[in-house]
Amino acid sequence: LQRSDGSHTCGGSILNENFILTAAHCVVVGNGIEAYPPHYFQVRLGSVQRTVGGTLLKLKRIIVNKTYGNFLNDVALLEVETPIVWTKNVQPIEMADTEVPSGEDVIVSGWGRLYTGGPIPHHLQYNTLKALSTQECGTAINMGYDSLICLAHEQENGVCNGDSGGPATYQGKLVGVAGFVVGGCGTSNPDGYAKVYFHRQWIEENMAK
């Protein structure tokens, strides 16, 4: 997801030919739940390079989860102006229909900063993090909510600014949307992701409207 001037904003995941899932905080004005107008943004598909390659599409509509706030329910749908064309590098991802067991490896990816205040990479980065249970997340960062999936990582690892809205995948399915870090990037705290399984009904209902 880019601003219309081409600067990088956030990641996202293609769900079908019309919709991309991202984080609400990527598209809202200030601390509210009102989205910026769709023409503020564009999406780049099918390239691992942040600024070149692939296809650029305009947005028709942005749907923000009305219950977004306090780092929770941080999901939004982007409806593209023209249907997405599938290629070798542009494919939809299936949403998870179960919880991720604690301790399992989850793959995250994005163009976020390599460390706090650091550079934004040109090429897409990925990393393997470990899923925590809701209880473990509550213990670690006091955020034990069913709507969240927390992902643990080594120090100097994890997500950072610019990764928001991007995917966490488990066994090839989308399980999380990058939401927040606690205490800055690369601390020993787990990172917070909106749990796709929890939000699946909202996502499906709003794609059908």
Residues with catalytic function = 25, 74, 164
HSE, CB side, 13 Å, CA atoms: give it for residue 205.
6
Euclidean distance between CA atoms 197 and 45, whole angstroms = 24
Nearest C-alpha neighbor of 209 from the set 13, 63, 59? 63
Provide the token pair at 10.
């956030």
Euclidean distance between CA atoms 104 and 127, whole angstroms = 13
End-to-end Cα separation, the chain, in angstroms: 22
DSSP state of 151: E
CA 126 to chain centre: 13
The label of the residue with tokens 């499906």 reads 204
Contacts of 48 (CB under 8 A, 6+ apart): 123, 124
CA dihedral 109, 111, 115, 121 (to 10 degrees): 130
Contacts of 12 (CB under 8 A, 6+ apart): 1, 20, 21, 22, 43, 78, 165, 166, 167
